[in-house]
């Protein structure tokens, strides 16, 4: 009598109970849940006619549109595997991911048709290219295929350990790896998300987070499970975000800290009247307490920090609020909210271990590596058993993140293990120094890396983006940090830059800062 754990069950239930409720807003297009899933059924039927079956891979290259959302249902209910490609990558990256995944169908929106055409001859295993929008020679028309397809799709039996998606990590110094997420992984993540961050029926979620990024942190299915409304956003621009929040009565959004910084620092003309009460879920990098404090105190929003990785489907920690947090001063509460938190009820077991595999004490000082095992950990890296063995060979997934455990049991990341700065034998957390600099009124973004130092081996160096219309000096920044930190943690040098190098998912590329050093393009 057991039913497999799969996010497709969320679709079945919501279609049955909330078929007439608004499911999707995408510009002028509005779809009910019945209309949405009728389109998904038709696309599944069309894909089946194209020869796609269980285990086959279908790649999509698209921003946050209704067609991209539909792929998260139409492809898996065929028993096929979705490969949502980071559309911000280069055509050469498209070739690598499509070929490595073995995708037989590639779907793209209008912005990427020419890019794919330029490398099409390098994808010999692809049988069909589908234009999700418009018409183009040599491409199948998505809307025409849906209109011609049969309604009432019946798919194969799904096992919860079947592959649901292959999500490629953002490659930095190596090729991206294909993270294999199962139906069970995704379902457990969505259930845990709703337990800790409950969305009410009919509440409206704004797609500020890319759907390709860890399956939109599984909100592609979580919003549907709650019978909420998906409000699509093709490109994240602060003015558009604030407008949609007002016009569509949005109450939920997810965003990396870099996006939150852009919203917090948006000019008054771009903001307009700010709608209070928006629930913001942030992850992807440790957010600064100063950013959280500003969004909560000035905007009246509620920020919850989540921690996870693509490899963990993705959530494994939530900074769950405690009753005693309410009595803290806003600045102190923001410091607590910037921590990664505690295990989700459904994610599994998480530990912070020293190099010998022993748990570190809950003293807020001793650093170790976050390791995890449980319901949300990936099946492994696609066609890469060696990389899988390196991170999972001992029965735990090793995250590579260095953290401490506070006395209350809340985990707090201090750095990536590879980014911890060791200066004169002292460990320095770049996250701590960055959070301090972000409290300076002129600082919009900050990144700290260790650069070679004749006396100390390496020393912290700051790369800073200033807010528009402000100015600051290197001496001022160093003095600001020294007043608030142990002196050995303060940066020894500062480079002002116009922007920080980032991955396509918004993470700062610290290796690029280390390689470029103080000679990076200055502001």
Q: Is the dihedral of CA 199, 200, 206, 207 positive or negative?
A: positive
Give the pLDDT of residue 518: 63
Asked whether residue 247 falls in the same domain as residue 341, the answer is: yes
Asked whether residue 342 falls in the same domain as residue 244, the answer is: yes
CA dist., res. 417 & res. 421, Å (int): 9
The two tokens of residue 387 are 């990389």
Domain finish residue from 399, 416, 433: 416
Specify whether the CB–CB gap between 58 and 102 falls below 8 A.
no
Considering the domain boundaries, does residue 174 fall inside one?
A: yes
Asked whether residue 142 falls in the same domain as residue 252, the answer is: no
Is the backbone of residue 409 left (phi > 0), alpha (psi -120 to 50) or beta? left
Asked whether residue 110 falls in the same domain as residue 145, the answer is: yes
Half-sphere exposure for 37 (CA within 13 Å, toward CB): 26
Give the pLDDT of residue 504: 65
Per the structure, the count of domains in the chain is 3
Considering the domain boundaries, does residue 2 fall inside one?
A: no
Specify whether the CB–CB gap between 334 and 320 falls below 8 A.
no
Domain finish residue from 114, 147, 179: 179
Question: HEC states along 304-318?
Answer: EEEEECHHHCCEEEE
Considering the domain boundaries, does residue 222 fall inside one?
A: no
Give the pLDDT of residue 102: 98
Query: Which CA distances in Å does 180 have to 57, 162, 216, 309, 355?
Result: 12, 10, 15, 13, 27
Asked whether residue 42 falls in the same domain as residue 153, the answer is: yes
Asked whether residue 459 falls in the same domain as residue 337, the answer is: no
Asked whether residue 248 falls in the same domain as residue 392, the answer is: yes
Considering the domain boundaries, does residue 4 fall inside one?
A: no
Q: How is the beta sheet containing 302-308 ordered, strand by strand?
A: 29-32, 22-26, 229-231, 204-206, 252-255, 279-282, 302-308, 315-318, 342-343
Question: How would you class 120 by CB atoms within 10 Å of its CB: exposed for 0-12, middle for 13-18, buried for 19 or more?
Answer: middle
Asked whether residue 254 falls in the same domain as residue 391, the answer is: yes
CA dist., res. 328 & res. 336, Å (int): 9
CA dist., res. 183 & res. 161, Å (int): 6
Considering the domain boundaries, does residue 246 fall inside one?
A: yes
Using DSSP's 3-state secondary structure scheme, residue 157 falls into: coil
- Neighbouring C-beta atoms of residue 198, cutoff 10 Å: 10
Considering the domain boundaries, does residue 41 fall inside one?
A: yes
Asked whether residue 487 falls in the same domain as residue 408, the answer is: no
Give the pLDDT of residue 172: 47
Considering the domain boundaries, does residue 14 fall inside one?
A: no
The two tokens of residue 76 are 């898996």
Considering the domain boundaries, does residue 18 fall inside one?
A: no
- Neighbouring C-beta atoms of residue 413, cutoff 10 Å: 22
Asked whether residue 409 falls in the same domain as residue 265, the answer is: yes
Q: Which residue has the tokens 């455990």?
A: 405
Give the pLDDT of residue 497: 94
* CATH number of the domain where residue 147 is located: 3.40.50.12780
Q: Which residue has the tokens 């996250």?
A: 431
Give the pLDDT of residue 197: 97
Domain finish residue from 398, 416, 434: 416
- Neighbouring C-beta atoms of residue 121, cutoff 10 Å: 8
Asked whether residue 114 falls in the same domain as residue 132, the answer is: yes
Task: Give me the residues of the chain with pLDDT under 50, please.
Answer: 172, 523
Please write the tens of the pLDDT for every residue from 383-398. Answer: 999 999 999 999 999 9
Give the pLDDT of residue 419: 78
The two tokens of residue 357 are 């595999």
The range of the structural domain enclosing residue 446 comes to 420-519
Asked whether residue 276 falls in the same domain as residue 173, the answer is: no
């Amino acid at each position: 009598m057991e039913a497999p754990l799969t996010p497709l069950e969320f679709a079945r239930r919501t279609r049955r109970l909330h078929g007439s409720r608004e499911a999707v807003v995408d510009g002028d297009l509005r779809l009910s849940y019945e209309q949405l899933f009728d389109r998904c059924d038709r696309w599944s039927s069309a894909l089946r006619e194209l020869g796609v079956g269980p285990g086959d891979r279908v790649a999509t290259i698209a921003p946050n549109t209704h067609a991209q959302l539909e792929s998260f249902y139409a492809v898996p209910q065929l028993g096929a595997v979705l490969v949502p490609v980071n559309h911000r990558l280069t055509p050469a990256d498209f070739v690598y991911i499509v070929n490595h995944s073995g995708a037989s169908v590639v779907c793209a929106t209008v912005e990427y048709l020419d890019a794919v055409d330029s490398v099409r001859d390098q994808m010999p295993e692809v049988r069909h290219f589908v234009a999700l929008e418009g018409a183009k020679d040599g491409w199948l028309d998505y809307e025409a295929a849906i209109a011609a397809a049969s309604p009432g799709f019946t798919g194969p039996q799904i096992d919860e350990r079947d592959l649901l998606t292959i999500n490629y990590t953002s490659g930095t110094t190596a090729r991206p790896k294909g993270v294999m997420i199962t139906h069970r992984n995704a379902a457990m993540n969505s259930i845990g998300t709703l337990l800790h961050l409950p969305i009410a029926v009919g509440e409206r979620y704004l797609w500020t987070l890319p759907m390709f990024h860890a399956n939109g942190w599984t909100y592609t299915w979580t919003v549907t499970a709650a019978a909420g409304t998906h409000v699509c956003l093709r490109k994240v621009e602060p003015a558009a975000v604030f407008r949609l929040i007002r016009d569509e009565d949005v109450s939920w959004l997810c965003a990396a800290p870099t996006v939150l910084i852009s919203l917090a620092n948006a000019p008054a003309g771009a903001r307009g009247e700010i709608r209070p009460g928006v629930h913001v879920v942030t992850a992807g990098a440790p957010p600064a307490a100063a950013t959280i404090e500003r969004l909560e105190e000035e905007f009246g929003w509620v920020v919850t920090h989540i921690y996870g990785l693509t490899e963990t489907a993705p959530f494994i920690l939530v900074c769950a609020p405690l009753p005693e947090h309410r009595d803290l001063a806003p600045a102190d509460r923001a410091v607590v909210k910037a921590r990664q938190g505690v295990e989700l009820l459904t994610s599994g077991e998480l530990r912070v271990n020293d190099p010998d595999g022993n748990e570190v004490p809950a003293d807020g000082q001793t650093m170790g590596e976050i390791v995890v095992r449980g319901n949300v950990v990936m099946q492994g890296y696609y066609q890469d058993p060696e990389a899988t063995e390196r991170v999972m060979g001992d029965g735990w997934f090793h995250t590579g993140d260095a953290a401490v455990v506070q006395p209350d049991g809340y985990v707090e990341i201090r750095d990536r293990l590879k980014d911890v700065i060791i200066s004169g034998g002292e460990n320095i957390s770049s996250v701590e120094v960055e959070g301090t600099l972000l409290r300076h009124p002129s600082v919009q973004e900050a990144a700290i890396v260790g650069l070679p130092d004749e006396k100390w081996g390496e020393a912290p160096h700051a790369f800073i983006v200033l807010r528009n219309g402000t100015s600051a000096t290197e001496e001022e920044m160093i003095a600001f940090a020294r007043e608030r930190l142990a002196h050995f943690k303060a940066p020894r040098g500062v480079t002002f830059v116009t922007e920080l190098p980032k991955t396509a998912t918004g993470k700062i590329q610290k290796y690029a800062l280390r390689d470029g050093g103080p000679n990076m393009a200055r502001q």
